[in-house]
Amino acid sequence: MRLLIGKGVLLIRRSKLEMYVDILKVLSQRGPLKLTHVMYKANFNCGTLKEYLDFLLKQGLVEEKIVGKRRVVYAITLRGVTVMKYFRELRQSLPIVEEARNDMLAPY
């Protein structure tokens, strides 16, 4: 996560890891989904999402499925579900990470 300050506005950027986790979370909660649905639900632009999905596909965390004649949807794999479980456990065992994030967002 990076903090950017521009024209009096505080912007928080997601790290790559957070972006991968966001995609996996959307697919685990609402998938399988078409590319555009993942894009809107995970808050990505199309080019960036394709890049991140390609990485997740190569890692075996996400898979492409053909529905009907040509419709491509993306689904989380069993390995992806396992990875999400580990991230959830890590987040619970390290609550200080969430506290630090909330402190950065607190108004002065």
- One-character DSSP codes across 78-92: HHHHHHHHHHHHHHH
Q: Residue 66 forms beta bridges with which residues?
A: 72
> Token pair 């996400």 is at which residue?
62
The full set of domains in the chain, from first to last, is 15-105 (1.10.10.10)
Question: At a CB cut-off of 8 Å and minimum separation 6, what does 63 contact?
Answer: 57, 74, 75, 77
pTM (two decimals): 0.76
Contact between 61 and 24 (Cβ < 8 Å) = yes
- Tens-place pLDDT, residues 3-23: 545 555 566 777 888 899 999
Query: What is residue 61's three-state secondary structure?
Result: coil
- Tens-place pLDDT, residues 23-54: 999 999 998 999 999 999 999 999 999 999 99
